[in-house]
Amino acid sequence: MQDYDKLYIDGEWVQPDGTGSIEVINATTEQPMGHIPEGSAADVDKAVAAAKSAFDGWAATNPSDRAKYVQALSEGIGARNQEIAETITGEVGMPLFLSQLIQAGLPKAVAATYPAIVEAFPWEEEVGNSLVVQEPVGVVGCITPWNYPLHQIVAKVAPALAAGCTVVLKPSEVAPLNAFILAEIIDEIGLPAGVFNLVSGTGPVVGEAIASHPDVDMVSFTGSTRAGKRVAELGAATVKRVALELGGKSANILLPDLDGAELEKAARAAVQSAYLNSGQTCTAFTRLLVPAAKHDQIVDVLRDEVESVYTLGDPAVGEGRLGPLISAAQRDRVRGFIEKGIEEGATLVTGGAEQPDGLDTGYFVKPTVFAGVRNDMTIAQEEIFGPVLSVIAYDDVDDAVAIANDSPYGLSGGVWGADKESAKAVARRIRTGQLEINGGSFNALAPFGGYKQSGNGRELGKYGLEEFLQTKSLQL
C-alpha cells in the first residue's frame, strides 16, 4: 500500500488544508493500492504563493544551472525505474515490461534531452537596433492526465523548470502515486524551495483553482477536450497563457499501392497503433482507412492479428499483451461505444462488449475490431479511449484524405505506402499535429501537439521549452 498524507509545497511535505483522502484503485485487482490527500483551493493558494515567491530567484539562475537540476531529475527517475513501472502498472494497467520502457523510461529520456537543448537555445538575439530576449513566463500550473501519468508530468515540468518557471502540479487523482514519487526525487536533488509544488485533488476543486488563480501566469493542461475547454474558459478571465493537449481520433491510411507482404505488415502494425496501453492513448490510430477493394482482405489480417496476439491478462506478471482499462467507469464507457457500433450497423469482426472469459476481476475490455464503418458513425467520430479499431473503406486517395480530415480532432495519424514520397505527400494533406510514415518511430525531440479541438501549443524538444517563454524586445 502506497499511502501519502502530505502535499509538497515550498520544499517541504506539509499537512493539507483539509482531512479528505482519495483512494487509488489497482486496475487489475480492483483493490485499493494507496491513498493521497484531497487538496483544496486553500492548498493551491499556498502552493502558488510559494511558486510566486521562488520565481524571481529561479528565473535569474543561469540556464545551464537549471538544466543540471533537470538532468538530476532524469537520473533520479532512472534510479527508481522498477518502482515507478510497478506503480503505474497498478494504477493504469499497462503490462509491466511496457511500463518499464514507456511509463518510466520515456520520462527519464525526455528530461535528459533538456540540458543539450538549453545549451543550444538562442536566449537572446539582435534584430536591428533591438535586443530580443527570451524570459520565463512565470508561475505555471500543470494539470496532467492518467494514461501516461509520469510522462505527461515530465513533458511539462522539465521544460518549465529549464525555462526558469516555477511550477504547481496537479496530477490525475486516478493515477497520482507516481507524482508523489517524482516529488520525492525532486526533494532529494535539492531543487530550491517553492520551484516545484505538488497539490493532489480533484479537477473541479484543485484543477479549477489553479486555472483561475490570478497569480498563475500559464496553465499547461493535458486531458479531454471537454475539460480543456473549461480550463481555457477559466484562464481567459485573467488572460493567462493556456496550452492544451487534448483528445484525438486519428486516422491511419493504408494507400492503394500497398500489396502482399507490405500490406499485411501495415495491417498488423495498425493494431498495435490502435491498442497501445489498451487503447488509452490520445494519439491512438483508431480509424483505419483502407482501399475499398482490399477491405475484406485487410479485415481478415486484422482478425488474425487480434485473436492470435492480443490476449488479455494480469499486467503485473506478464499475462497477456493487453491489461485492463483504468477504472470501472472507463470500462463501462468503452463497452457502451462497442454496443453503439453494433446498434449503428458496423460489422463486429472480433471482440465485443461482454466480460472476457476467465477475467471476472479487473477492468478488462475485449480487443475489438469493427468493419464496414462509416465515418459518420459514433465509433468513428468520438474518442473511445479503449481497444476499439474501426475500419473505414475509401474510394481513392482524395476520398481517404477527406475522411481523415472529417473530424473535430487533429492530433496524430499515420500513412503507409509502398512509395514513401507518395505517402509523405498524402501526410502533408492531413490536418493533424504529427503523422507516422510507414511506422516511423516516436521522436522525443519533435514537437507534439494538435490541430483543431485536439488543442494548441507544443510539447517536447525545443518547442516544449519555447512554450514556457515570453519574448521581450529591448530597443537600444
pLDDT category of residue 236 using cuts at 50, 70 and 90: very high
Average pLDDT score, the chain: 97
SS3 (DSSP) at 281: coil
**What span, in angstroms and rounded, lies between the C-alpha atoms of 319 and 386?**
19
Q: 55, 286 in Cβ contact below 8 A?
A: no
Q: Where do you find CATH 3.40.605.10 in the chain?
A: 2-246+454-475
Element holding 442 (H helix, E strand): none
Q: How confident is the model at residue 318 (pLDDT cuts 50, 70, 90)?
A: confident
The torsion angle over the Cα atoms of residues 189, 195, 196 and 202, rounded to 10 degrees, is 170
What pLDDT is attached to residue 289? Answer: 98
- 361: pLDDT strictly greater than 90: yes
pLDDT at residue 268 above 90? yes
Ranges of H-type helices in 80-176: 81-92, 96-98, 105-120, 149-163
Using DSSP, state whether 122 is helix, strand or coil.
Answer: coil
What span, in angstroms and rounded, lies between the C-alpha atoms of 313 and 301?
23
Q: How far apart are CA 69 and CA 160, in angstroms?
A: 12
- Grid cell 487534448 — which residue? 246
pLDDT of 246: 97
Q: Which residues are catalytic?
A: 245, 282
Mapped onto helix, strand or coil, the DSSP state of residue 19 is: coil
CATH 3.40.309.10 positions along the chain are 251-445
Burial of 457 from C-beta contacts in 10 A (0-12 / 13-18 / 19+): buried
The grid coordinates listed for 474 are 529591448
Q: What is the pLDDT of residue 270?
A: 98
Structural class in CATH, domain 251-445: alpha beta
* SS3 of residue 53 by DSSP: helix
CB 115 within 8 A of CB 67: yes
Residue 1 in this model has a pLDDT that exceeds 90 = no
**Helix (H) and strand (E) counts in the chain:** 16, 23
Residue 430 contacts by C-beta under 8 Å, 6 or more apart in sequence? Answer: 251, 253, 401, 404, 405, 413, 415
Per-residue pLDDT tens over the stretch 170-210: 999 999 999 999 999 999 999 999 999 999 999 999 999 99
Q: Which three cell numbers stand for residue 414?
A: 499515420
Between CA 246 and CA 92 the distance in angstroms is 19
Structure confidence by residue, pLDDT tens digits, 129-180: 999 999 999 999 999 999 999 999 999 999 999 999 999 999 999 999 999 9
Please enumerate in sequence order all residues whose Cβ is within 8 A of that of 97, keeping only pairs 6 or more positions apart, or say none.
318
Confidence of residue 18 (pLDDT cuts 50, 70, 90): confident
Helix (H) or strand (E) segment spanning residue 269: helix 260-275
Q: Which helix (H) or strand (E) holds 431?
A: none
CA distance 332 to 355: 10
Provide mean pLDDT across the span 268-294: 98
Type of residue numbered 123: W
Confidence tier at 280 by pLDDT (50, 70, 90): very high
| Euclidean distance between CA atoms 297 and 111, whole angstroms | 43
* CATH architecture, domain defined by 2-246+454-475: 3-Layer(aba) Sandwich (3.40)
- Summarize pLDDT for 45-90 with one digit per residue, the tens: 999 999 999 999 999 999 999 999 999 999 999 999 999 999 999 9
What share of the chain in percent tops pLDDT 90? 99
pLDDT (mean) for 87-108: 97
Q: Which residues contact 144 (CB under 8 A, 6 or more apart)?
A: 152, 153, 156, 169, 170, 171, 172, 179, 222, 223
- How many Å apart are CA 48 and CA 114, to the nearest integer? 25
CB 385 within 8 A of CB 330: yes
> In a 3-state reduction of DSSP, which class is residue 295?
helix
DSSP alpha helix (H) spans, 318-377: 328-343
Region 322-329 average pLDDT? 97
Which of 200, 191, 147, 203 has its CA nearest to residue 171?
Answer: 200
Compute φ and ψ for 404, nearest 5 degrees.
-60, -40
